[in-house]
Amino acid sequence: MAKNLDNYLADRVLTRQLYLLRFTAGEQKKVLAVLVDMRAELVAKLRAGDVTDFTRGRLKTLLKQFVLKPIMGGISS
């Protein structure tokens, strides 16, 4: 009986872990999409040219903070 219960519990734990990993991967993809859109918007604002020097500095600082490679490396397709 104990062996069957252990197997059942191990199966339940593994199943929940798989669901959690799938959920995490989906959320990472959503966040990455938002970050890519935000970066494109920042670049578009910089290219528009109708920004003040202060705003241009802020936009450049924000763009420097975008490091998508580590995020993208953690997402498996």
Gap between the Cα atoms of 63 and 55, Å rounded: 12
pLDDT > 80? residue 76: no
Cβ atoms of 25 and 75 within 8 Å: the answer is yes
pLDDT at 69: 59
41-59 average pLDDT score: 90
**Could you tell me the two tokens for 20?**
């959690």
The model's confidence at residue 65, banded by pLDDT at 50, 70 and 90, is confident
Phi, psi torsion values for 50, nearest 5 degrees: -100, 45
The three-state secondary structure class of 36 is helix
